[in-house]
Amino acid sequence: MSEESLLNISNLTIHYHTVEGVIKAVRNVSLNVSRGESLCIVGESGSGKSTLGLAISLSLPRNAVVVEGSMVYEGVDLFKLSPPERQRYRGREISMIFQDPATTFNPLFTIGEHLVDILRHHFGVSMDEAVARAIELLRKVQLSDQDRILRAYPHELSGGMLQRAAIATALSTNPKVLIADEPTTMLDVTTQSQILELINTLKQEFGLTLLLITHNLGIANEICNRTVVMYAGALIEEGPTDEILLNPLHPYTAKLIKAVPTITKEQGRLSYIPGMLPDLRNPPAGCPFAERCEFATRYCNSSSIKRVQVSPGRRVACILHGAEA
């Protein structure tokens, strides 16, 4: 794995403006992504991991505001670019697939119309050339009967097929970074592992840098050598996936690992983390997990907890591990 930095996010803070108030979805996140690595962003629903993914793919919803921070991609701060300049990065450099393959494509257009349109837009190729490339892409995602798939409307295909088609479309632009936002959550279990395997294969073949967003640490372990854990919009732990799984430092990470059901372990009831995510309109000043944490001290709530390096490549934001209060 090369250590060359491809994407460097620092102090990223993103707010959503909604009728209920300002939601601080991503708070002061710093993250370094190396070229060619597979990085997992793990967290439960509402932890801000999808918002982070959309921010990296330059496709935040209209009501999201980047309050602070920079995102340097190959030496360019993408947040400083004008909208037309930014357009050159969308799809072309950074592409993305989503959780629900059934709503990824417009229901009134065929898969082929999407795929051919994107190919022609990015490469200016002729219709025939675009169709030929589309067929080749569908073959690469192991879809047979490519002609039929191109002519099919989304409702005529299964979830697994649609997710494969979405992967083909996301890769049609030859991106350097692929963000996969919970790509297997809506699929049934047998399809899940196939899709993960496919993503892994294509990562090698296309030389991708992969950002896998998931709530499932088991999936993280299968694919990614490095993992970051998010909680309530903050990045609380970072390190090699196997180390995190074997020796989680943050109490939240430990609980999250426990919550992954396995068939090898004898488990009466599924374990869960008591309590709820803090209200992100008004997040706590200190550690966001303090309220649910069994090891919480009176210092945890005081002021912001900084992430500290514990060992090379291993960082955690927890007072128990020497983080400054």
Partner 1 sequence: MPVSREYVVKRFLLLVFVVLGVLAITFVMTRIIPARPELLWAGPHATEEQLKRAREVLHLNDPIYVQLYYYLSDFFRGDWGVSWRTRSPVLNDLLTALPATLELVITAFLLASIVGIPLGIYSALRYGRFSDQVVRFMTILGASTPVFWIALILQTMLGVWTGLLPAGKRVDDYLAYVTGFKPVTGFYVLDSLTQGNLPVLLDVLKHLLLPAFVLSIYPLSLSSRMSRSLMIEVLNENHVRSLEVWGIPQRKIVFKYALRNVMVPVIASLGLSLGYTLVGAFMVELVFVWPGLGYYAGMALLSYDYPAIIGVVILVALFYSIINLVVDLIHVWLDPRVRL
Which residues, listed in sequence order, are joined to residue 308 by a DSSP beta bridge? Answer: 316
DSSP 127-192: HHHHHHHHHHHHHHTT-S-HHHHHH--GGGS-HHHHHHHHHHHHHTT--SEEEEESTTTTS-HHHH
Which part of the chain contacts partner 1 (CB under 8 A), choosing from 164-172, 216-224, 275-283, 303-311?
164-172
Residues composing the chain: 325
Which part of the chain contacts partner 1 (CB under 8 A), choosing from 55-63, 253-261, 272-280, 281-289?
55-63
Residue among 224, 308, 217 nearest 30 (CA): 308
Query: With respect to partner 1, which residue has the nearer C-beta, 98 or 231?
Result: 98
Gap between the Cα atoms of 289 and 295, Å rounded? 10
Q: Say how many C-beta atoms besides its own lie within 10 A of residue 169's C-beta.
A: 24
Phi, psi dihedral angles at 314 (to 5 degrees): -120, 115
Of positions 19, 82, 108, 265, contacts partner 1 by CB under 8 A: 108
Which part of the chain contacts partner 1 (CB under 8 A), choosing from 162-170, 188-196, 271-279, 307-315?
162-170
Burial of 301 (0-12, 13-18, 19+ CB in 10 A): middle
Q: Say how many C-beta atoms besides its own lie within 10 A of residue 122's C-beta.
A: 15
Which part of the chain contacts partner 1 (CB under 8 A), choosing from 104-112, 227-235, 255-263, 293-301?
104-112
Query: With respect to partner 1, which residue has the nearer C-beta, 115 or 229?
Result: 115
Contacts of 241 (CB under 8 A, 6+ apart): 40, 220, 221, 224, 225, 226, 227
CB of 151 to partner 1, least distance (A): 11
Gap between the Cα atoms of 47 and 25, Å rounded? 7
Site for partner 1 in 81-100 (CB under 8 A): 87, 90-92, 95-96, 98, 100
- Which x/- pattern over 61-80 shows residues binding partner 1 (rule: CB under 8 A)? x-------------------
Query: With respect to partner 1, which residue has the nearer C-beta, 153 or 299?
Result: 153
CB of 320 to partner 1, least distance (A): 39
207-224: string of b/e by CB count within 10 Å (b at 16+)?
ebbbbbbbbbbebbbbbb
Site for partner 1 in 119-158 (CB under 8 A): 121-122, 153, 155
Angle between helical axes of 159-171 and 127-140 (0-180°, round to 10): 120
Q: Is 111 in the site for partner 1 (CB under 8 A)?
A: no
CB of 251 to partner 1, least distance (A): 34
Q: Is 258 in the site for partner 1 (CB under 8 A)?
A: no
Which part of the chain contacts partner 1 (CB under 8 A), choosing from 102-110, 197-205, 267-275, 303-311?
102-110
CB of 103 to partner 1, least distance (A): 4
The helix (run of H) or strand (run of E) holding residue 226 is strand 226-231
Of positions 31, 166, 244, 290, contacts partner 1 by CB under 8 A: 166
Q: Is 57 in the site for partner 1 (CB under 8 A)?
A: yes
Q: Are 73 and 9 in contact (CB under 8 A)?
A: no
Of positions 38, 47, 51, 104, contacts partner 1 by CB under 8 A: 104
Question: Under the rule (CB under 8 A), what is the footprint of partner 1?
Answer: 54, 57, 59, 61, 87, 90-92, 95-96, 98, 100, 103-109, 114, 117-118, 121-122, 153, 155, 166, 169-170, 172-173
